[in-house]
Structure formats: C-alpha cells, structure tokens
Chains A and B, each alone.
Chain A
C-alpha cells in the first residue's frame, strides 16, 4: 500500500526508527561507545545482537518474503560454526576463506533438505524443516573427532592474510556489523529485484505465479539456500565470538527463538528481524541477570504478543506496511 499523501511527522519518525540502517547504526554506535569508554560488556552485547540479527534477518527473508515458515534455521547457523571449527583444525583461519566456506556450508545443507521440504506445504513444511535440523544436531553430537556432545574450542580467532587483525573483541564486533550491513544491503537489493517480486508473488498466489511461467520451486529453493548461507555466516561469527562450538548451537529452541525475533519485529520488512533480534537479546540479557528462569518471561511475552494480536510492533505505532 503506497500512499501519495506525504507522511505525517510521527509516521516519518517511525519510518526512520525502523529503518535497517538505523538499527545497524545503533549497534555500531554502541560498539564505538564501548570502545571509547572501555566498556567491554557493551561491545560483547552489541556483537551478540549483530550476530543474532544476521541470523534473524536471513530467516525473515524466507519467512516474510517467501512465506516459508522454516523451523530449522538453527541448523545452517550451527553448520557455519562447525565450518569454522573444522577448517580451523585443518589450518584454515583466513576470514576471506572462512566466511565463503561458512556460507557454502549452510547453503549446501539447505539444497537437499530444502528440495525435499519444498515438496510439501504448511504444517508438513514446518515439521520437516524441524526434523532435518534435528538430524544435523544429532550428527554433530555423534562426531567425536570434533568434541561430540560437549563441543570443543576453535583453533583461534580468524585472521586476514595471516595478520591477527581480529584479535580484539572490538575488531570482531566491527566485522560482525560489517557482515550484517553487507547482508542487509544484499537482501534489500534481492527484494527489489525480479527475484524478490517472484518470491512474494509465489507467497501470495502460488498458482498464478506458476501460471505466469515462473518456477516457484526454483525461486523458493534459491531463497531458502541464500537464507541458509547467511545463517551460516552468522554461525561462523558466533563461533569466532565465543571461541567454542558445540551442538547446542543447533538446538531447536534456537530455531524457535529466531522465529520469535522475526515475528516480534514484523516479518514483512527486513528491519523487523533486526529490531526483533535486538529486543530478544536485551530481554535475554536483562531478564537473565534477574533470574535464571528468563525463558519463562520470554514465553509470557510471546503469549502476550500473540494473545493481543499485536504481532507487528511498528504497525501498532502507526506505520503501514
């Protein structure tokens, strides 16, 4: 719905606040402030938010644009992390190799699983994506060479042409924010391109899109693989940040939390996933400090959001999608 009348001031304010650039700039600002004021915790928190925002952003792309409710997004995320671990054991630590490999790892997992899951619709799709993600979880739990259930530490922080450029947490934070910005820009372009239009058309009316001569299956599979690749990047960054990789990165609760982030922020816009991720990370951090049962609070929040049908926060504030 585009309107020709100029937007009112509050609507323009909301548009500004919910713009993806604003969210990314806010994260960058927190990192910069943390760097100047020597607040390591701010930097760590902003990095974590940027990484989860990256994962949520990719899920928001398939979920919002493609209408595909994937409940297995933790799998490519975890695979990205394992790519860092396994490549590190093999002596590969250069960021220019690790990131493409992590993307490839996620996307290659999505190729067969997505091709199978996309043969089905609705409830089946949700259950199958969840099942394949759980398969990934159990496979990595069984890999005793890479720590099995317990996981193991990565060989060391990533490098650039052998230089230990990302040794400090601040440098890693900038890397995460840079990848987030690049992925946002890429997905923004993809949404505006013909590919994005076909994806949305298939979401709204599959039969008509197919009748127009577009291959709905191929478009969806491509979107699914791109999203998984970006989730792989997020997982690789998570491995770099914590320095530790274990199957719990792929726990299905993480898939659920990513969906929560996307829906909380509004799935129709890319920025929704960013905002949702930042909100959930903050809730986790501050509720988690108050009580070990913070998930109880998150669960109540989710139920309250669903119960009041206030799924789209920016829409509540007066901005139309």
Chain B
C-alpha cells in the first residue's frame, strides 16, 4: 500500500430533487508509472490506482478505468443526478489490492 493515501471529496450537502450536482474528488497517491528509473538505472515498478467508482444509493454514477498516464494524485470532476436523499460511495482500487473508500451524505430538500 502506498503511504499516506488520503481521499478528498467535495459534494454539496444538500440539493433540490432531480438536480445535477458537480462532484470533485482527489486522492493523494504517487501513481508510479512503471516508466521511471531510479539512480541505479533500475525501473521503478508500476504502482497506481487502476479503477475509481462512484455510486449513489448503490447505483453507478461513474466508473473510471485508469492507466499510468493519469497524473499523480488523481483528480476527477463529474456530474451526478440526485433523485433522493442518500449516500455517495467513492471507491479507489490500488494495483496492490488495497481499496480506499470515502462516503458523503446528501439531503434533498
């Protein structure tokens, strides 16, 4: 597991029914591409987050497949529908099998 992996997510705390909201996510991760070499000329092995999924009350909002060309500290911005009050679940899958999760509640007024 990469050190100090911290997910950060920005979701509005409330929305009106059926409104589209913009979600921004960032997770601190080195996203080692497998292309770089260390001082001795040895290739540094690839270690990235390869998948990111957002669901709302169990339904998929976005599912992203990631390759090494995604920058360090992967950032995503996207739009979601909010049909009712509920919980967003954000999940990041690491190459090494680690899974990082974060959740945010939203209230529909």
Q: Do A and B come from one complex?
A: no
